[in-house]
C-alpha cells in the first residue's frame, strides 16, 4: 500500500485534466488512484502514463475503486451535489471545484449532510485564497495599516466565454470568485446585490448580457463593485483595489514580464485562468493534500460554498429584476464557527 494519498478525480475536462497533472507531477504526498468521466476516452487520456490508476464512466465507481482515500470534484457544477453526498457517505475528504453546488438549496443539503457527520470533510476550490497577490492584500488588510476597508473595486475579464455560457453565469460562475474573495478579504458577509447592465459588447454572443456591473453591500457597511466582462477579447485580467480609511492597495496589474524594445514597452497579459492562477492552484491542491493527510480541513469550506451560492443566486435575481436583492443566509452552524 502506497503512503501517498490516493485521490479519485471526477471529471477530466479543462480543470480535471489539469488537476490530474498537478496531483501526478507537481504536488507531493498524493497520487491519482482513479478518474471518472462519462467520456471515458477523455478520462483515459488525462491519466495516460500514470501507473495504478483506474478509469470509470461513473463517479460512484471511482469512489469505490481500490486505493481511493480522497476525492477531487471537477465535474460540471450541477453534478457536484450528488458527488459530494456520495463522498460524505463513504467518509471521503473532498476538494470540490467552485461552485460547491450552483443552487443554494442544494448547497444547504450538502451543509446539512456534513453537519450530520459532525466533522468537516469538504474544501471548495476558491483558489484566489492561495494566490500570492491576494494573500499579500489579505495580510495588509488584516494588519490594519490601511485602516478600515470602505470599498473594493474589482475587475474580472475573460478573453471569451465557452459556447454554453449564459448571462446568469457571469454572476454565478465568474463573479462567484469575487463573492468569495470579498467575504474572505473583508471578513464580512455580503448582504445585498444590484446588477447594472451597460450596453453589451458587439463581441459578445447574441443575447448574452456582457459586460455586467455588479454591486454588493456588506454587513459592515462596505461596498464591493465588480466589472465582469467575459468576452473582452484582449486577455484574462483579474484585479482588485481595496480603498481604506488610511490608504489603498491594488493587485492584478500583471507585473510578471515587461519587455522593452525600440518599439516600446510590452507587458504580458495572461490568456486564461490556468495561466493567471497556475501557482494558486498548485498551492491550493498542495495545502489540501497536506491538510487531508493530517485529518483536517483548512481551506474555504462548505459554509463558504453555501454563502457564495446564496449570494450568487441573489445576484441572478438582481440581474433579472434590475433591482436590489437582499441576501438571505441560514444561521451559521457551530461546525463552521
Ligand atoms: N477554479 C477555477 O478557476 C475554475 C476554472 C474553470 C472551471 N472551474 C470549475 O471546474 C468544474 C469543471 O469545469 P471545466 O471547465 O473543467 O469543465 P469541462 O466541461 O471542461 O469538463 C467537465 C468534465 O466533466 C465531465 N462530467 C460530466 N458529468 C460528470 C459526472 N457526473 N461525473 C464526472 N464527470 C462528469 C464531462 O464529460 C467533462 O469531461 C466546474 O465546476 C467549473 O465551475 C473552476
Ligand atoms: O469557470 C470559470 C472559472 O471559474 C474562471 O476562474 C473564471 O474566470 C471564469 O469566468 C469562469 O467561467
Report the CATH superfamily, name and number, of domain 129-275+309-336: Dihydrodipicolinate Reductase; domain 2 (3.30.360.10)
Residues 6+ apart with CB under 8 A from 35: 8, 9, 10, 12, 16, 20, 43, 46, 47, 53, 54, 55, 56, 62
Nearest residue (CA) to ligand 2, atom 3 = 174
Nearest residue (CA) to ligand 2, atom 10 = 174
CB atoms within 10 A of CB 205: 14
Q: What is the pLDDT along the chain (337 residues), one digit of tens a residue?
A: 479 999 999 999 999 999 999 999 999 999 999 999 999 999 999 999 999 999 999 999 999 999 999 999 999 999 999 999 999 999 999 999 999 999 999 999 999 999 999 999 999 999 999 999 999 999 999 999 999 999 999 999 999 999 999 999 999 999 999 999 999 999 999 999 999 999 999 999 999 999 999 999 999 999 999 999 999 999 999 999 999 999 999 999 876 788 899 999 888 888 999 999 999 999 999 999 999 999 999 999 999 999 999 999 999 999 999 999 999 999 999 999 9
d(CA 172, CA 315): 8
CATH number for region 5-127+279-300: 3.40.50.720
Give the start-to-end residue ranges of the domains of the chain: 5-127+279-300, 129-275+309-336
With the most atoms of ligand 1 within 8 angstroms of its CB, the residue from 9, 10, 14, 305 to mutate is: 14
| Alpha-helical segments (H) within the chain | 14-21, 40-46, 59-63, 80-89, 104-117, 132-143, 167-169, 176-186, 273-276, 278-293, 302-321
d(CA 123, CA 297): 7
Residues 6+ apart with CB under 8 A from 233: 159, 160, 203
Q: What is the ipTM of this complex?
A: 0.99
Ligand 2 centre distance from Cα of residue 97 (Å): 11
Domains 5-127+279-300 and 129-275+309-336 share a fold: no
Closest CA to 306 of 286, 329, 325: 329
The predicted model scores a pTM of 0.97
Q: Give the length of the chain.
A: 337
Of the bound ligands, which one is closest to the alpha carbon of residue 278? 1
d(CA 222, CA 215): 11
Contact 183, 304 (CB under 8 A): yes
Contact 330, 198 (CB under 8 A): no
Residue matched to cell numbers 490508476: 53
d(CA 88, CA 84): 6
Amino acid at each position: 500500500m502506497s503512503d501517498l494519498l490516493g485521490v479519485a478525480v471526477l471529471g477530466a475536462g479543462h480543470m480535471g485534466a489539469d488537476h490530474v497533472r498537478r496531483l501526478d507531477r507537481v504536488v507531493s504526498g498524493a497520487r491519482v488512484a482513479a478518474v471518472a468521466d462519462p467520456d471515458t476516452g477523455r478520462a483515459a487520456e488525462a491519466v495516460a502514463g500514470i501507473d495504478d490508476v483506474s478509469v470509470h464512466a461513473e463517479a460512484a465507481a471511482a469512489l469505490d475503486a481500490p486505493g481511493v482515500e480522497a476525492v477531487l470534484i471537477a465535474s460540471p457544477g450541477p453534478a457536484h451535489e450528488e458527488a459530494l453526498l456520495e463522498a460524505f457517505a463513504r467518509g471521503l475528504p473532498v476538494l470540490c471545484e467552485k461552485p460547491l453546488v450552483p443552487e443554494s438549496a442544494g448547497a444547504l443539503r450538502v451543509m446539512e449532510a456534513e453537519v450530520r457527520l459532525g466533522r468537516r470533510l469538504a474544501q471548495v476550490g476558491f483558489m484566489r485564497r492561495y494566490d500570492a497577490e491576494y494573500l499579500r492584500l489579505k495580510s495588509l488588510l488584516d494588519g490594519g495599516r490601511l485602516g478600515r476597508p470602505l470599498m473594493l473595486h474589482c475587475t474580472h475579464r475573460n478573453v471569451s466565454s465557452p459556447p454554453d455560457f449564459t448571462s446568469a453565469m457571469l454572476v454565478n460562475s465568474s463573479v462567484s470568485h469575487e463573492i468569495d474573495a470579498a467575504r474572505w478579504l473583508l471578513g464580512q458577509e455580503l448582504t445585498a446585490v444590484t446588477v447594472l447592465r451597460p450596453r453589451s459588447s458587439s463581441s459578445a454572443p447574441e443575447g448574452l448580457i456582457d459586460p455586467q456591473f455588479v454591486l454588493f453591500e456588506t454587513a459592515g457597511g462596505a461596498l464591493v463593485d465588480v466589472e465582469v466582462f467575459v468576452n473582452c477579447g484582449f486577455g484574462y485580467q483579474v484585479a482588485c483595489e481595496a480603498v481604506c480609511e488610511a490608504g489603498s492597495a491594488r493587485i492584478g496589474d500583471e507585473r510578471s514580464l515587461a519587455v522593452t524594445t525600440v518599439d516600446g514597452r510590452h507587458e504580458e497579459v495572461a490568456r486564461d485562468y490556468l495561466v493567471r492562477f497556475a501557482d494558486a492552484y498548485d498551492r491550493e491542491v498542495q495545502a489540501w493534500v497536506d491538510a487531508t493527510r493530517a485529518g483536517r480541513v483548512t481551506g474555504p469550506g462548505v459554509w463558504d460554498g453555501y454563502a457564495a451560492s446564496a449570494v450568487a443566486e441573489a445576484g441572478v435575481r438582481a440581474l433579472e429584476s434590475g433591482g436590489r436583492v437582499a441576501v438571505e443566509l441560514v444561521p451559521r452552524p457551530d461546525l463552521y464557527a
